[in-house]
């Protein structure tokens, strides 16, 4: 149920009435006096208002305007002309708000200044597929910005203001690991494009892992109102520190129902540090093992009073997991002392460890508990990717494929055979898309010809055929389909 907008005001009134000192005494004299605005006289009284926190945090929250502009030449087909006019462009080819010969897509979101040099963190989905970004500060000054880093797996991105003016205010990071359910927080952003707005609520839940808006699901849930346009904005604690980046809402109407989700500051900080170090992609440690959820039956068989941890389902040869001595059937209970209750929580905790040193796993094997040290290293590129964008007419037209390796498996978050060709992406509306090909599919064979490297697929798809028999490995199951030429 949505939180009543009157509840915070009622709580504040109650705090003043039950307080001590001259302010409380004045309020209790008469109903008329109780309605007057009274200046707080002491620090505890000031803290009864969120205004001081907002004043510290608001200058660091910005609006992010992103757009993708396609330049088009003067030659257009009759179908293009029809579509252009049907969807609202005039005969000169001028889109709404665009110049002649241009078509623009636009996105509006929020962001947070995290470094005085002009680094701004926002959601990746705010700038996804965009090539132009502008940042508007709280004081309405606007600047062009460049995209520094995109990290779709966390739905985070970092942009940098070009030629930033002096005096930018960076929001300090808070410790999202010490948050507790019931803590007060505020969401600051630009909902519905109406301008900077502050909403207040509490932490409703922690470690939410079934939201589905990123690969690393470990969200802070809050009832502070989050609406479209708040994406990329700040979730702030009562010290004015950044504890999360607002990223998603649960809604059937598009508006806030009091269930919003934010990416914890610990993950945000890791992505920002990567950008500060000059990298344009985030590299994370490779375990080389697949883990699965612990069911009640598994928990009972291992002597646990409730399901907890993750079960090691398989290991790759020469991986950090194998070298650490992990075995199939081991139960991983903690990562550096932090408990994990499902594969998403484990993936989040492990991803935060970086690429140097070791991580200590608390494990249970049978009924015996122990600790193992796992080396932190990036997944290796065991062979060249040999990226291939299929452009010949076949069921693969519009797909981009690569040779598999542990690095590719880690990026696409799937288990691969030792050798194979994986689908890295599929163009929307392409023949491959209509044929049902998906990112992460491993192409096993085409018309009975084994496909082990991208050159095999390139050679096979150059033939003009009337029928195609395609076998793919999807999630461990081999699927075979026949397509017409």
DSSP, residue by residue, 421-482: EEEEEE-TTSHHHHTT--TT-EEEEETTEE--SHHHHHHHHTS--SEEEEEEEETTEEEEEE
pLDDT digits (tens, 9 = 90+) for 350-377: 988 988 899 999 999 988 999 999 999 9
Contact (CB, 8 A) for 282 and 270: yes
Per-residue model confidence as pLDDT tens for the chain (485 residues):
333 332 222 233 333 333 334 333 333 333 444 446 666 677 676 667 788 889 999 999 999 988 876 555 444 444 444 334 333 434 333 344 445 545 556 778 899 999 999 999 999 988 888 878 999 898 888 999 999 999 888 889 999 999 888 889 999 999 988 888 888 998 998 876 677 888 888 888 887 665 554 555 678 888 887 877 788 889 999 999 999 998 866 555 555 556 788 899 999 999 999 999 888 888 889 999 989 999 999 888 888 888 899 999 988 888 999 999 999 999 999 999 999 988 888 988 998 898 889 999 999 998 899 999 999 999 998 889 999 999 988 999 999 999 999 888 888 877 766 678 999 999 988 999 998 999 989 999 999 999 999 999 999 998 878 888 999 988 778 888 888 75
b/e map 133-146, b = 16+ CB within 10 Å: bbbbbbeeeebebe
Structure tokens at 331: 């139960």
Pick from 381, 338, 335: which is nearest to 358 by CA? Answer: 335
The residues that are catalytic are 125, 155, 231
Contact (CB, 8 A) for 53 and 60: no
> How far is 240 from 262, CA to CA, in rounded Å?
16
The distance from CA 54 to its chain's CA centroid, rounded to whole angstroms, is 25
Handedness of CA 178, 239, 58, 198 (dihedral sign): positive
DSSP state of 4: P
pLDDT reported for residue 60: 93
Instruction: Using alpha carbons, list the distances in angstroms from residue 248 to 123, 207, 213, 219, 354.
Output: 10, 14, 7, 10, 26
Contact (CB, 8 A) for 348 and 216: yes
Partners of residue 481 on adjacent β-strands: 470
Rg of the chain on CA atoms, in Å: 27
Contact (CB, 8 A) for 167 and 124: no
- Residue 239 phi/psi, 5-degree rounding, is -100, 5
Q: Which domains does the chain have, with CATH numbers?
A: 7-49 (no CATH), 57-71+101-281 (2.40.10.120), 289-375 (2.30.42.10), 388-484 (2.30.42.10)
DSSP state of 94: B
Instruction: Using alpha carbons, list the distances in angstroms from residue 300 to 15, 295, 307, 327, 362.
Output: 48, 9, 8, 20, 19
Find the distance separating the first CA and the last CA of the chain, reported in whole Å.
Answer: 54
Pick from 11, 127, 22, 19: which is nearest to 67 by CA? Answer: 127
Pick from 282, 185, 197: which is nearest to 235 by CA? Answer: 185
Contact (CB, 8 A) for 280 and 148: yes
Tell me the whole-structure pTM to 2 decimals.
0.71
pLDDT digits (tens, 9 = 90+) for 175-227: 988 888 888 998 998 876 677 888 888 888 887 665 554 555 678 888 887 87
b/e map 400-418, b = 16+ CB within 10 Å: bbbbbbbbbbbbbebebee
Pick from 394, 457, 448: which is nearest to 420 by CA? Answer: 457
Number of residues that this document lists for the chain:
485
> How far is 463 from 478, CA to CA, in rounded Å?
24
Which residue do the tokens 């015996």 mark?
A: 368
Contact (CB, 8 A) for 385 and 403: yes
């Amino acid at each position: 149920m949505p939180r009543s907008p009157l509840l915070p005001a009622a709580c504040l009134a109650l705090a003043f009435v039950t307080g001590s000192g001259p302010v409380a005494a004045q309020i209790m004299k008469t109903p008329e006096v109780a309605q007057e605005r009274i200046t707080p006289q002491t620090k505890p009284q000031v803290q009864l208002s969120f205004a001081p926190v907002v004043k510290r945090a608001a200058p660091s929250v910005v609006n992010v305007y992103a757009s993708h502009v396609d330049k088009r030449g003067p030659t257009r087909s009759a179908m293009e002309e029809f579509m252009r006019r049907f969807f609202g462009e005039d005969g000169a080819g001028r889109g709404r708000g665009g110049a002649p010969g241009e078509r623009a897509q636009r996105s509006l979101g929020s962001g947070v200044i995290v470094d005085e040099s002009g680094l701004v963190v926002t959601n990746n989905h705010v700038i996804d597929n965009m090539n132009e970004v502008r940042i508007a500060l709280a004081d309405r000054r606007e600047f062009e910005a460049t995209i520094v880093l995109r990290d779709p797996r966390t739905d985070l991105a970092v942009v940098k203001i070009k030629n930033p003016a002096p005096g930018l205010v960076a929001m300090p990071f808070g410790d999202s690991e010490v948050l507790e359910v019931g803590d007060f927080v505020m969401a600051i952003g630009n909902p519905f494009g109406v301008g900077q707005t502050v909403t207040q609520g509490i932490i409703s839940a922690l470690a939410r892992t079934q939201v589905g808006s990123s690969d690393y699901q470990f969200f802070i849930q809050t009832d502070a109102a989050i609406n479209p346009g708040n994406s990329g904005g700040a979730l702030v604690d009562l010290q004015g520190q950044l504890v999360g980046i607002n990223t998603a809402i649960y809604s059937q109407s598009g508006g806030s129902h009091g269930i919003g989700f934010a990416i914890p500051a610990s993950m945000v900080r890791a992505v920002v540090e990567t950008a500060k170090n000059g990298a344009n992609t985030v590299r994370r440690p490779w375990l080389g093992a697949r883990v699965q959820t612990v069911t009640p039956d598994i928990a009972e068989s291992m002597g646990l009073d409730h399901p907890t941890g993750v079960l090691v389902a398989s290991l790759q040869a020469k991986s950090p997991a194998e070298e650490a001595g992990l075995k199939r059937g081991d139960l991983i209970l903690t990562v550096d002392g932090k408990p994990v209750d499902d594969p998403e929580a484990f993936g989040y905790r492990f991803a935060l460890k970086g690429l140097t040193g070791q991580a200590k796993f608390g494990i249970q094997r049978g009924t015996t508990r122990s600790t193992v040290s796992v080396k932190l290293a990036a997944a290796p590129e065991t062979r060249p990717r040999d990226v291939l964008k299929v452009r010949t007419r076949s069921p693969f037209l519009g797909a981009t494929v690569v040779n598999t390796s542990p690095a590719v498996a880690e990026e696409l978050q799937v288990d691969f055979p030792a050798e194979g060709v994986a689908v890295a992406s599929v163009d929307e509306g392409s023949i491959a898309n209509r044929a049902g090909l998906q990112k992460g599919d491993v192409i096993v064979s085409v018309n009975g010809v084994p496909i082990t490297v991208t050159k095999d697929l390139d050679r096979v798809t150059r033939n003009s055929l009337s029928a195609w028999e395609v076998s793919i490995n999807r999630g461990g199951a081999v699927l075979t389909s026949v397509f017409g030429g």
